[in-house]
Every structure is written in structure tokens, then in C-alpha cells.
Amino acid sequence: MSSSRRILLAGASGSIGVPLTAELERAGHEVIRLVRRQPAGTNEFRWDPYSGEIDERALKGLDAAINLSGAGIGDKRWTEDRKKVIYDSRIEPTRVLAQHLAELDEPPEVLLSQSATGIYGDRGDEILTEDSPLGPRDDFLSALTIDWEAAAAPAREAGILVVHPRTGLVLSRHTQLMQRLIPLYKAGLGGPLGDGRQWWSWITLKDVIAALGHLLESTAAGPVNLVAPGAVRQRDFSDALAKTVRRPAALTVPRFGLRLLLGSDKAESLGFSSARVAPQGLEELGFSFNHPELVDALGDIVR
């Protein structure tokens, strides 16, 4: 990236926030972290998004802001209480941060407010771009993500460029998905979910970090799909991972089995929902992927 900037970051302790912070600081930027615990350094400032409070010192002289707040989607069963935690942990921090930024006399130029490809819902073989219609309100992830993007409205109405990176499945040795899949496939216990025809839209963590940096330097606004160019059917993802770890992928996970394991809503949304998402916005912005092909991405991750 270009000259040094003062960048506010909410969600700095997450799987994207940690490497993003490191990369921004390597590039010479000052990263101001919003934390809910007691601050532990000069660049950390406390906030409580559920009471609407932010240490005002964190908001001084900002050039940009990034919002990655949100509880984990895949780590627990989706009880009604868990769904509320997932929802509230995204909507409230986004709304509070956007409102505080909007009220500044000198607001930042840009706010990157995280989103996800779950906003499109289950769409079969349809190729989805940023211009595609959004998913239905009766789909939990779709409704959640629609409201998540809408919560940033105060910043947009104040003239801040608001970008929503709609991120697909993030591939890294440190993400929950791959931490679960790699040992299974190495043990020869991998295989497609159901018939495996559902589309999985993925991106490596390295490309997520690079794309967020690219968006900070652009004049983009609105949604931008953060996915690699090569969306794949789930059975092809399974075959590629099996070949990478040099094990067979002969086991098929039946639909009812995953529903029993994860719960119906979670299994359908995370395992069997189909979203063939294209990175039209990133390509128009001239972004160059480190890992455009799944086989190369998996090889790099497993190594």
C-alpha cells in the first residue's frame, strides 16, 4: 500500500484480524485496535458495542476503518440462543461503529465492513456477481448478512466510502474449516457431502488479506465478492483435497448424517447450500490473486 495511514480495526483478534494487522503494520500503517478487554498497548482502545461506548481517543485522525466483528459461525450448534449471539455480534458492533464514525468532524475516507457470500442464499448453478439479487429472508445466513450490511448505513449516509467484502470460504491452516478437514482427509475419512453438486466459493487467507489491502487503496464502494475465480463443486473440492494429502476420498457423508451432527439449519447452510460466486468486482479493480486455482491453494496450505 501507499503512504502511512491511521487505520481503525474492530475484530483484530480473529482469524483474519491477526494476519491483517501484521500485514498493515509491515506496510508502515498505524493500526488502532478496538478491544472489549482491558487495553494492553498504546494502540489498543476499549469499546463496548452493546452499550454504544468507544474511547474517543481511538477515533482521532483516522484515514480508514475496518470492521471484522462477529462471533464464529461454525464452532457451535445453531440453537436459537447461538443464532442470537451470531446475529447481535455483527449487527450491534457495525451499527455502533458506523454511527460513531458518521458523527466525527473529520471522518475516515473509507470503512471496510465485513460481509459474506451467505447473503446470496442457496442458488444452485446460478453465477452470482455483486449485481445479483440477494437471498431470501427465511434463510438465516442470508437474512443475517443483509442486516449486517444495512447496519453500516450511518457511515454511508455521512459520505464515507463503505465497502462490504462478501467473503467466501476462507482457506488456511488456521481456519476452522481446514483444521477439521485436513486431519480427516489425512486419515482417509474424507469424501463429498451428499451428491457433492453444491458450489463452494473459496479464497485463501493470503488473498483475503491482499484483497482488503487492495480495497483500502481503491475508490470502490458497495459490495465486493472476496472469492477466487474458480468456484468448484463440493465433490471436486473433496477430490482435490484428497489428492493433495494423497489419500482416497471414498466416503460419502449423507445429508441426514450431517444434519444429525450439526443440526438441520447449520448443515444445510454450511454444507449443502450452493453459491457459485464470481469475483467480478475484484477483477474490475485489477486485483491479482496469489491462488486463483484450488489445487495450488490446497497444496500451499497442506505444505
Q: Assign 206 a pLDDT band (cuts: 50, 70, 90).
A: very high
Closest CA to 207 of 222, 229, 180, 223: 229
Q: Is residue 257 part of a domain?
A: yes
Higher pLDDT, 142 or 73: 142
Q: pLDDT for 128-145, tens place per residue? A: 999 999 999 999 999 999
Q: Is residue 164 part of a domain?
A: yes
C-beta neighbour count of 57 within 10 angstroms: 9
3-state class (DSSP) for residue 58:
helix
Percent of the chain past pLDDT 90, that is, above it, reads 82
Closest CA to 193 of 253, 106, 140: 253
> Total structural domains in the chain?
1
Q: Per-residue pLDDT for 2 more than 60?
A: no
Q: Is residue 57 part of a domain?
A: yes
List the domain range (segments joined by +) for residue 191: 6-302
pLDDT attached to residue 29: 97
Specify the CATH number for the domain of residue 224: 3.40.50.720
pTM for this model (two decimals): 0.94
Q: What is the mean pLDDT of residues 238-252?
A: 92
Q: Is residue 122 part of a domain?
A: yes
Q: Is residue 1 part of a domain?
A: no
Residue 148 is inside which H or E element, if any?
Answer: helix 140-150
pLDDT attached to residue 1: 46
* Average pLDDT in the chain: 93
| AA identity, residue 294 | L
Q: pLDDT for 29-68, tens place per residue? A: 999 999 999 998 899 999 999 999 999 999 999 999 999 9
